Amino acid sequence: MARIALGLAYEGSGWSGWQTQPSRRTFQDALEAALEAFLDRPTATICAGRTDSGVHALQQVVHLDTVAVRREMSWVRGLNAHLPAQIAVQWARPVAEDFHARFAARSRTYFYVLRSAPAPSPILRGRVGWVHDALDETRMRAAAAHLLGEHDFSAFRSSDCQAASPVRTLSRLDVLRTGEFLVLRFEANAFLHHMVRNLMGVLVAVGRGRRPPEWAAELLSQRDRRLAAPTFMPDGLYLAHVGYPAHPELPLLQPERALAAHLGWPCPDVAGHP
């Protein structure tokens, strides 16, 4: 029995997220159906992070156990031949049996790409978030500073969250502007259900001038989801990177390069940003 790690990219619009669900369109179901067609046997998978409905992935990491022997590129081409167009395997690597896509991960990075413009773009629909207001990124950065570090993120946690603890360590939250786009980078040891989208709701409210930057700190101390902003739209949210420092054999791109590779248009400034 061998353990194989896969790197996946997918476009989440119209899908019900990663995790398998009865009678729903999910990426786990699509991948496991492709594996069954490719290997001629059912094969279970475990992912690094279960993305929600409408959320995209630039580098989702999955592992599976199999007795099948295939070359790395055969895994990529063979599975992609059975996958729908919205999901594609980017790479495959054999890994040690102690590798675990979820529990071996030490960090996760998400990007949120947000367009601020008077009217929505039908071309970018589903790929970026949108607000018609002008946003003050300086105020948003000030709010973001209050959120860094280890905190109880109960105010930013979905009522459906099944995590045992609401405590997470948010190590990075950048707010970068490139033209009419804001690109926000969130990096943490792990995220709660809807945590990034709930953080986005607060940051956008601050950027619009409806709340002061200090509101973010107040919400952390109050630990009450009902007092925070509504959950923001999933359209511009991308799982960009999963960190495995003990497994340098995995061909993981840096998060900015992953964004540049898949989106292109907002990325020269972001990819070159320290």
Catalytic residue among 29, 52, 136, 269: 52
**Residue 26, φ and ψ in degrees, nearest 5:** -125, 155
How far apart are alpha carbons 33 and 19 in whole angstroms?
A: 13
Length of the chain: 274
Cα angle 193-196-197, degrees, rounded to a multiple of 5: 90
* Sequence-ordered list of residues with C-beta below 8 angstroms from that of 101, at least 6 positions apart, any chain: 5, 46, 47, 48, 61, 62, 63, 242
**How many other CB atoms sit within 10 Å of the CB of residue 84?**
15
CA distance 174 to 271: 13
- d(CA 90, CA 9) in angstroms, rounded, equals 7
Q: Is 52 a catalytic residue?
A: yes
Provide the CA 208 distance to its chain's centre, in angstroms.
24
- Provide the annotated active-site residues: 52
